[in-house]
Amino acid sequence: MLNKPLPSLLGLTKDDMIEIFEQHDEPAYRAGQVLEWIYRHRAGSIDQMTNLSEPLREKLTEQFRFKTMEKVKVQGAGDTTQKYLFKLHDGRYVETVLIPASKGLYGDKADRLTACVSSQVGCAYGCKFCASGLAGLTRNLTADEIVGQLMEVEALSGKKINNIVFMGMGEPLANIKNLEKALDIITGQWGMNIGARHITISTSGLAPMIKQLADRPQQIRLAISLHGATDEVRDKIMPVNSKWDIDALFEALHYYKNKSNKRLTLEYILIKGVNDSLDQATILAKRAKSLKALVNVIPYNTVEGLDWVRPDDEHCHRFRNTVRDAGVTTTMRIEKGHDIDAACGQLRLKQETEEGIIKAPIKA
């Protein structure tokens, strides 16, 4: 029942669930039974939880939602990258992408299935090149809406996800409370049981929250959307840099690095004439070396309504080689034609603009 504004069972940790059952004078082991139905048996409804008494199932149905979203659209065929558009209970949309075999990226093997999840509807950070930030922030996703994306794409594709990247819509660290709850459910052995080392969080650089994440006992991987090696360049395209400049950001990254021995990734999209000079490449390499970070060079993906341009392939290679030749491990993937796995936020933007939920975005 999609429109019922009830809390969802998918947003509860094991402790939350035990507490709820105790409040209803039900034994704590019921919590384990419900979690098994959700995450092990993948029940499609509360009614399917047949080892619970009928009155208890009724009580749960009255108080909780089970489904958190509805599939609206899927782009791409089964064995390639697939982009899912989901409708939330309040009529808003989010995107989730399934990427098979992201070989080499984030230390993963070729047989991986990666899910790229959204953390917010829209984004408040307004990076000038990004579709997600074009119409500002609508709202945070709740923990159940984060977990729900993963559960839905697994159910719809019939495949098991073994790698998660928070690189969809939104700034995950601006929604850190719900993010942390979702991480507990995703990594819990009673939950989705996906290891923290298979999870990467991408951030535009919210320094205090990077430190907060570093203090978690789990070793989550971190990717930073750097996109400019100096404040002068970064200021032009990422407003977040006026709040936490590159020095503040790197101070937090060193803190993260010292707490966790996981390798950091610096993401660097290449936009023609904006951040793609070879001087930037040299400074980027120096910064990456100070952190022993990996650099992922991403030729810009055109966004409808924005005038930014991707440099030609030759220049992208020259930029990448400059960073690599300075002794930094780099990755770069040049897509031919339209690439659906990057530039997340475009499907939702189109859908919500068409429906008049948001006004047509203003050009940056």
Which residues are part of the catalytic machinery?
95, 344
Contact (CB, 8 A) for 112 and 162: yes
* Out of 108, 145, 152, 171, the residue judged to bind ligand SAH by CB under 6 A: 171
Nearest to 64 by CA among 148, 181, 189: 148
Contact (CB, 8 A) for 204 and 238: yes
What are 33's two structure tokens? 């039974």
* Out of 49, 94, 130, 199, the residue judged to bind ligand SAH by CB under 6 A: 130
Q: Which residue is listed with tokens 């690599």?
A: 324
Distance CA 227, CA 204 (A): 9
How would DSSP label each residue in 12-68? --HHHHHHHHHHTT--THHHHHHHIIIIIS--SSGGG-TTS-HHHHHHHHHH-BS--
Contact (CB, 8 A) for 198 and 162: yes
Contact residues for ligand SF4, defined by CB under 6 A: 123, 125-127, 130, 132-133, 170-171, 204, 225
Q: Is 184 in the site for ligand SAH (CB under 6 A)?
A: no
Which residue type is seen at 254?
A: H
Which residue type is seen at 307?
A: D
Q: Is 298 in the site for ligand SAH (CB under 6 A)?
A: yes
Q: Is 85 in the site for ligand SAH (CB under 6 A)?
A: no
Distance CA 114, CA 248 (A): 31
- Could you tell me the smallest distance in angstroms from the CB atom of residue 129 to ligand SF4? 7
Helix (H, G, I), strand (E, B) or coil at 300: coil
Q: Is 269 in the site for ligand SAH (CB under 6 A)?
A: yes
* Out of 21, 66, 300, 319, the residue judged to bind ligand SAH by CB under 6 A: 300
Q: Is 203 in the site for ligand SAH (CB under 6 A)?
A: yes
- Could you tell me the smallest distance in angstroms from the CB atom of residue 23 to ligand SAH? 37
Beta-ladder partners of 266: 224, 295
- Could you tell me the smallest distance in angstroms from the CB atom of residue 93 to ligand SF4? 15
Beta-ladder partners of 306: none
The stretch among 58-66, 68-76, 285-293, 295-303 that binds ligand SAH (CB under 6 A) is: 295-303
Q: Is 93 in the site for ligand SAH (CB under 6 A)?
A: no
For residues 81 and 204, which CB has a smaller minimum distance to ligand SF4 in the complex? 204
Q: Is 303 in the site for ligand SAH (CB under 6 A)?
A: yes
* Out of 68, 102, 114, 202, the residue judged to bind ligand SAH by CB under 6 A: 202
Contact (CB, 8 A) for 178 and 6: no
Which residue type is seen at 64?
A: F
Contact (CB, 8 A) for 239 and 206: no
- Residue number with the smallest Cβ distance to ligand SF4: 133
For residues 132 and 275, which CB has a smaller minimum distance to ligand SF4 in the complex? 132
Q: Which residue is listed with tokens 């020259």?
A: 318
- Could you tell me the smallest distance in angstroms from the CB atom of residue 171 to ligand SF4? 4
How would DSSP label each residue in 214-279? HTSSS--EEEEE---SSHHHHHHH-GGGGTS-HHHHHHHHHHHHHH--SPPEEEEEE-TTTT--HH
**Which does residue 301 bind out of ligand SAH, ligand SF4, none, counting CB within 5 to 8 angstroms by kind?**
ligand SAH
Query: How, if at all, do strands 93-100 and 82-88 pair?
Result: antiparallel
* Out of 108, 152, 267, 341, the residue judged to bind ligand SAH by CB under 6 A: 267
**Which does residue 126 bind out of ligand SF4, ligand SAH, none, counting CB within 5 to 8 angstroms by kind?**
ligand SF4
For residues 35 and 131, which CB has a smaller minimum distance to ligand SAH in the complex? 131
- Could you tell me the smallest distance in angstroms from the CB atom of residue 345 to ligand SF4? 7
Q: Is 114 in the site for ligand SAH (CB under 6 A)?
A: no
- Could you tell me the smallest distance in angstroms from the CB atom of residue 14 to ligand SAH? 28
Number of residues in contact with ligand SAH, rule: CB under 6 A? 17
Q: Is 296 in the site for ligand SAH (CB under 6 A)?
A: no
Using CB under 6 A, list all residues that contact ligand SAH.
123, 129-130, 167, 171, 202-204, 225, 267, 269, 298, 300-301, 303, 342-343
